[in-house]
Structure 1
Amino acid sequence: MGRKTLVAIDGSPQAEAALAYALEEFPESAITAVHVVQVPEGYWTAFSDSTTKVPGYEDAVAHGEELLESVAETVADEGHALETVLKTGKPSRELVDYAIDEAFEQIVIGSHGRHGVDRVMLGSVSETVVRRAPMTVIVVHEE
Protein backbone atom coordinates (compact mmCIF):
# COMPACT_ATOMS: atom_id res chain seq x y z
CA MET A 1 0.00 0.00 0.00
CA GLY A 2 1.30 3.47 -0.95
CA ARG A 3 1.53 6.60 1.12
CA LYS A 4 -1.60 8.23 2.45
CA THR A 5 -1.82 12.00 2.38
CA LEU A 6 -4.53 14.07 4.06
CA VAL A 7 -5.21 17.52 2.61
CA ALA A 8 -7.26 20.02 4.60
CA ILE A 9 -9.88 21.74 2.44
CA ASP A 10 -11.76 24.89 3.46
CA GLY A 11 -12.50 26.59 0.14
CA SER A 12 -9.69 29.12 0.49
CA PRO A 13 -6.95 29.82 -2.06
CA GLN A 14 -4.51 28.49 0.56
CA ALA A 15 -6.32 25.13 0.66
CA GLU A 16 -6.35 25.01 -3.15
CA ALA A 17 -2.59 25.60 -3.11
CA ALA A 18 -2.15 22.82 -0.54
CA LEU A 19 -4.10 20.39 -2.72
CA ALA A 20 -2.14 21.39 -5.83
CA TYR A 21 1.10 20.90 -3.90
CA ALA A 22 0.05 17.44 -2.68
CA LEU A 23 -0.98 16.35 -6.18
CA GLU A 24 2.28 17.59 -7.69
CA GLU A 25 4.68 16.41 -5.00
CA PHE A 26 3.00 13.09 -4.13
CA PRO A 27 1.49 11.76 -7.36
CA GLU A 28 1.63 8.13 -6.15
CA SER A 29 0.02 8.90 -2.79
CA ALA A 30 -3.59 8.11 -1.94
CA ILE A 31 -4.89 11.61 -1.29
CA THR A 32 -7.89 12.34 0.91
CA ALA A 33 -9.43 15.81 1.04
CA VAL A 34 -10.99 16.54 4.43
CA HIS A 35 -13.34 19.42 5.18
CA VAL A 36 -14.36 20.13 8.77
CA VAL A 37 -17.65 21.85 9.53
CA GLN A 38 -16.83 23.91 12.58
CA VAL A 39 -19.40 23.94 15.34
CA PRO A 40 -19.31 26.29 18.32
CA GLU A 41 -17.78 25.07 21.55
CA GLY A 42 -18.26 26.25 25.09
CA TYR A 43 -21.25 28.44 25.88
CA TRP A 44 -23.44 27.38 22.95
CA THR A 45 -22.92 23.65 23.46
CA ALA A 46 -24.00 23.94 27.10
CA PHE A 47 -27.52 24.62 25.82
CA SER A 48 -27.57 22.28 22.84
CA ASP A 49 -27.83 18.50 22.83
CA SER A 50 -27.19 18.08 19.10
CA THR A 51 -25.17 19.76 16.39
CA THR A 52 -28.29 19.84 14.24
CA LYS A 53 -29.72 22.47 16.59
CA VAL A 54 -26.82 24.82 15.93
CA PRO A 55 -28.09 27.64 13.68
CA GLY A 56 -26.86 27.22 10.12
CA TYR A 57 -25.52 23.69 10.69
CA GLU A 58 -27.40 22.11 7.77
CA ASP A 59 -26.27 24.89 5.44
CA ALA A 60 -22.66 24.46 6.57
CA VAL A 61 -22.80 20.71 5.94
CA ALA A 62 -24.35 21.25 2.51
CA HIS A 63 -21.65 23.82 1.69
CA GLY A 64 -18.93 21.39 2.81
CA GLU A 65 -20.38 18.59 0.69
CA GLU A 66 -20.56 20.89 -2.36
CA LEU A 67 -17.00 22.07 -1.76
CA LEU A 68 -15.65 18.51 -1.56
CA GLU A 69 -17.65 17.43 -4.61
CA SER A 70 -16.29 20.37 -6.61
CA VAL A 71 -12.71 19.63 -5.55
CA ALA A 72 -13.11 15.93 -6.44
CA GLU A 73 -14.50 16.81 -9.89
CA THR A 74 -11.68 19.25 -10.58
CA VAL A 75 -9.05 16.72 -9.55
CA ALA A 76 -10.75 13.96 -11.59
CA ASP A 77 -10.71 16.22 -14.67
CA GLU A 78 -6.93 16.41 -14.21
CA GLY A 79 -6.70 12.62 -14.09
CA HIS A 80 -6.24 12.12 -10.36
CA ALA A 81 -8.30 10.12 -7.88
CA LEU A 82 -9.36 11.78 -4.65
CA GLU A 83 -11.26 10.50 -1.65
CA THR A 84 -13.29 13.07 0.29
CA VAL A 85 -14.34 13.14 3.93
CA LEU A 86 -16.60 15.56 5.80
CA LYS A 87 -16.07 15.89 9.56
CA THR A 88 -17.76 18.05 12.19
CA GLY A 89 -16.08 19.71 15.16
CA LYS A 90 -13.01 21.79 15.87
CA PRO A 91 -10.95 21.76 12.65
CA SER A 92 -7.48 21.26 14.11
CA ARG A 93 -8.65 18.49 16.44
CA GLU A 94 -10.71 16.69 13.80
CA LEU A 95 -7.92 16.83 11.21
CA VAL A 96 -5.29 15.41 13.55
CA ASP A 97 -7.58 12.79 15.09
CA TYR A 98 -8.71 11.58 11.67
CA ALA A 99 -5.13 11.47 10.39
CA ILE A 100 -4.10 9.36 13.40
CA ASP A 101 -7.14 7.07 13.26
CA GLU A 102 -6.70 6.40 9.53
CA ALA A 103 -2.87 6.07 9.66
CA PHE A 104 -1.99 8.92 7.29
CA GLU A 105 1.74 9.45 6.79
CA GLN A 106 1.39 13.18 6.23
CA ILE A 107 -0.93 16.16 6.35
CA VAL A 108 -0.77 19.00 3.82
CA ILE A 109 -2.49 22.18 4.95
CA GLY A 110 -2.65 25.74 3.67
CA SER A 111 -1.74 28.72 5.78
CA HIS A 112 -3.28 32.16 5.64
CA GLY A 113 0.01 33.59 6.90
CA ARG A 114 -1.52 35.72 9.64
CA HIS A 115 0.92 37.39 11.99
CA GLY A 116 0.84 39.25 15.27
CA VAL A 117 -2.53 40.27 16.67
CA ASP A 118 -4.49 38.67 13.80
CA ARG A 119 -2.96 35.28 14.60
CA VAL A 120 -3.61 35.63 18.33
CA MET A 121 -7.19 36.86 17.84
CA LEU A 122 -8.19 34.41 15.10
CA GLY A 123 -6.10 31.38 16.06
CA SER A 124 -4.33 29.21 13.57
CA VAL A 125 -5.57 25.81 12.50
CA SER A 126 -2.33 25.05 10.67
CA GLU A 127 -0.21 25.98 13.69
CA THR A 128 -2.25 23.76 15.99
CA VAL A 129 -2.10 20.87 13.51
CA VAL A 130 1.69 21.25 13.32
CA ARG A 131 1.96 21.15 17.11
CA ARG A 132 -0.43 18.22 17.68
CA ALA A 133 0.15 15.89 14.74
CA PRO A 134 2.58 13.00 15.28
CA MET A 135 3.14 12.67 11.51
CA THR A 136 4.77 15.01 9.00
CA VAL A 137 2.82 18.22 8.38
CA ILE A 138 3.55 20.31 5.31
CA VAL A 139 2.30 23.89 5.48
CA VAL A 140 1.76 25.56 2.12
CA HIS A 141 1.85 29.32 2.46
CA GLU A 142 -0.14 31.17 -0.18
CA GLU A 143 -1.09 34.82 0.15
Structure 2
Amino acid sequence: MIAPQHVLVPTLGRPREDEALAYALETFPDADVTFLAVLTPLDAPLSEGGVLERGEERTDQARRSATAVLESVTNSDSLDRVAIETAEGRPGTVVPRYASEEGVDHVVMYGSENGSVGFLRRFLGRGIAATVVERTPRPVTVLE
Protein backbone atom coordinates (compact mmCIF):
# COMPACT_ATOMS: atom_id res chain seq x y z
CA MET A 1 0.00 0.00 0.00
CA ILE A 2 1.29 3.44 -0.92
CA ALA A 3 1.51 5.79 2.04
CA PRO A 4 -1.16 8.49 1.86
CA GLN A 5 -0.11 12.08 1.32
CA HIS A 6 -3.35 13.65 2.57
CA VAL A 7 -5.34 12.19 5.48
CA LEU A 8 -8.75 13.44 6.57
CA VAL A 9 -9.85 13.18 10.21
CA PRO A 10 -13.44 14.33 10.67
CA THR A 11 -14.58 15.56 14.07
CA LEU A 12 -18.19 15.82 15.17
CA GLY A 13 -17.36 17.11 18.64
CA ARG A 14 -17.65 13.71 20.29
CA PRO A 15 -15.50 12.12 22.99
CA ARG A 16 -12.40 10.21 21.95
CA GLU A 17 -12.06 11.80 18.52
CA ASP A 18 -8.67 12.96 19.71
CA GLU A 19 -7.62 9.31 19.41
CA ALA A 20 -8.40 9.34 15.69
CA LEU A 21 -6.26 12.44 15.19
CA ALA A 22 -3.40 10.99 17.25
CA TYR A 23 -3.65 7.73 15.29
CA ALA A 24 -3.50 9.55 11.95
CA LEU A 25 -0.49 11.63 12.99
CA GLU A 26 1.39 8.59 14.29
CA THR A 27 0.45 6.13 11.56
CA PHE A 28 1.00 8.50 8.65
CA PRO A 29 3.97 10.66 9.77
CA ASP A 30 4.66 12.07 6.30
CA ALA A 31 1.08 12.94 5.38
CA ASP A 32 -0.66 16.28 5.57
CA VAL A 33 -3.70 15.97 7.83
CA THR A 34 -6.97 17.87 7.60
CA PHE A 35 -8.96 17.92 10.84
CA LEU A 36 -12.46 18.61 9.53
CA ALA A 37 -15.00 19.93 12.03
CA VAL A 38 -18.39 18.89 10.67
CA LEU A 39 -21.29 21.05 11.81
CA THR A 40 -24.64 19.30 11.73
CA PRO A 41 -27.24 21.49 10.00
CA LEU A 42 -29.55 23.40 12.29
CA ASP A 43 -32.57 21.58 10.87
CA ALA A 44 -31.12 18.11 11.44
CA PRO A 45 -33.09 16.00 13.92
CA LEU A 46 -29.97 14.92 15.84
CA SER A 47 -27.65 17.89 16.22
CA GLU A 48 -24.49 18.02 18.29
CA GLY A 49 -25.25 18.19 21.97
CA GLY A 50 -28.71 19.60 21.38
CA VAL A 51 -27.30 23.10 21.92
CA LEU A 52 -27.35 25.03 18.69
CA GLU A 53 -25.86 28.42 18.12
CA ARG A 54 -26.21 30.40 14.93
CA GLY A 55 -23.90 30.79 11.96
CA GLU A 56 -20.51 32.25 12.78
CA GLU A 57 -20.78 31.37 16.47
CA ARG A 58 -21.14 27.69 15.60
CA THR A 59 -18.24 27.80 13.15
CA ASP A 60 -15.99 29.67 15.59
CA GLN A 61 -16.85 27.25 18.39
CA ALA A 62 -16.15 24.24 16.15
CA ARG A 63 -12.79 25.71 15.13
CA ARG A 64 -11.86 26.44 18.78
CA SER A 65 -12.83 22.91 19.83
CA ALA A 66 -10.83 21.38 16.98
CA THR A 67 -7.83 23.55 17.85
CA ALA A 68 -8.01 22.44 21.49
CA VAL A 69 -8.08 18.78 20.43
CA LEU A 70 -5.18 19.33 18.04
CA GLU A 71 -3.08 21.03 20.71
CA SER A 72 -3.83 18.24 23.18
CA VAL A 73 -2.59 15.43 20.93
CA THR A 74 0.31 16.85 18.96
CA ASN A 75 3.67 18.41 19.52
CA SER A 76 4.89 21.57 17.86
CA ASP A 77 6.70 19.56 15.16
CA SER A 78 3.39 18.16 13.87
CA LEU A 79 1.35 21.37 14.01
CA ASP A 80 2.57 22.58 10.62
CA ARG A 81 1.15 19.55 8.81
CA VAL A 82 -2.38 19.79 10.24
CA ALA A 83 -5.02 22.10 8.79
CA ILE A 84 -8.32 22.73 10.55
CA GLU A 85 -11.32 23.15 8.27
CA THR A 86 -15.05 23.41 8.92
CA ALA A 87 -18.00 22.25 6.85
CA GLU A 88 -21.72 22.22 7.51
CA GLY A 89 -23.87 19.28 6.55
CA ARG A 90 -24.69 15.74 7.47
CA PRO A 91 -21.43 13.89 8.23
CA GLY A 92 -22.36 10.94 6.01
CA THR A 93 -22.52 13.34 3.06
CA VAL A 94 -19.90 15.96 3.97
CA VAL A 95 -17.01 13.58 4.71
CA PRO A 96 -17.19 11.54 1.47
CA ARG A 97 -17.67 14.71 -0.60
CA TYR A 98 -14.71 16.45 1.07
CA ALA A 99 -12.54 13.36 0.60
CA SER A 100 -13.35 13.25 -3.12
CA GLU A 101 -13.07 16.97 -3.85
CA GLU A 102 -9.97 17.78 -1.80
CA GLY A 103 -7.64 14.98 -2.91
CA VAL A 104 -7.77 13.01 0.33
CA ASP A 105 -6.01 9.63 0.18
CA HIS A 106 -7.27 8.15 3.47
CA VAL A 107 -9.90 8.89 6.13
CA VAL A 108 -9.44 8.12 9.83
CA MET A 109 -12.35 8.46 12.22
CA TYR A 110 -13.59 7.32 15.59
CA GLY A 111 -16.62 5.14 15.04
CA SER A 112 -18.14 4.27 18.37
CA GLU A 113 -21.65 5.66 18.74
CA ASN A 114 -21.93 6.28 22.48
CA GLY A 115 -24.71 7.80 24.54
CA SER A 116 -28.28 8.57 23.58
CA VAL A 117 -27.43 9.67 20.04
CA GLY A 118 -25.54 6.42 19.50
CA PHE A 119 -28.45 4.42 20.88
CA LEU A 120 -30.88 6.17 18.54
CA ARG A 121 -28.56 5.71 15.56
CA ARG A 122 -28.24 1.98 16.28
CA PHE A 123 -31.98 1.71 16.88
CA LEU A 124 -32.80 3.56 13.66
CA GLY A 125 -30.36 1.56 11.62
CA ARG A 126 -26.98 3.05 10.77
CA GLY A 127 -24.13 4.86 12.38
CA ILE A 128 -22.21 7.72 10.84
CA ALA A 129 -19.03 5.65 10.46
CA ALA A 130 -20.85 2.96 8.47
CA THR A 131 -22.30 5.60 6.16
CA VAL A 132 -18.90 7.24 5.66
CA VAL A 133 -17.25 3.88 4.89
CA GLU A 134 -19.96 3.02 2.35
CA ARG A 135 -19.90 6.39 0.57
CA THR A 136 -16.21 7.32 0.63
CA PRO A 137 -14.21 6.33 -2.44
CA ARG A 138 -11.00 6.24 -0.37
CA PRO A 139 -9.78 3.85 2.34
CA VAL A 140 -11.38 4.55 5.73
CA THR A 141 -9.93 3.46 9.06
CA VAL A 142 -12.57 3.35 11.80
CA LEU A 143 -11.30 3.23 15.37
CA GLU A 144 -13.54 1.71 18.04
In structure 2, how many angstroms separate the alpha carbons of the residues matched to 1:35 and 1:98?
Answer: 12
Q: Which runs of no fewer than 5 residues in structure 1 stay unpaired?
A: 44-54
Matches of 2:124 and 2:58 in 1, distance apart? 23
Task: Give the equivalent residue in structure 1 for 2:139.
Answer: 136
Q: How does 1:119-130 map to 2 (within 5 A)?
A: 119-121=122-124, 123-130=126-133
Residue 106 to residue 36, structure 1, CA distance change in 2 (3 Å) = same
Q: Give the TM-score taking structure 2 as reference length.
A: 0.76
Residue in 1 that maps onto 2:24 = 22
Of residues 38, 41, 48, the one that matches 1:39 is 41
Give aligned pairs, total.
129
The letter for the 2-side match of 1:57 is R
Aligned residue in 1 for 2:106: 106
Percentage identity across paired residues of the two chains: 25
SS in 1 for 2:34: strand
Partners of 2:127 and 2:111 lie apart in 1 by 8
| Distance in structure 1 (CA, Å) of the matches to 2:15 and 2:27 | 18
CA distance in 2, matches of 1:87, 1:64: 10
**AA in 1 matched with 2:103:** A
For residues 70-124 of structure 1, give each alpha carbon's deviation from its aligned partner in whole angstroms, at most 9, with x where no partner exists.
2343455342031111001111211110110011111001011568865133841
Describe the SS at the equivalent of 1:139: strand
Name the larger-Rg structure: 1
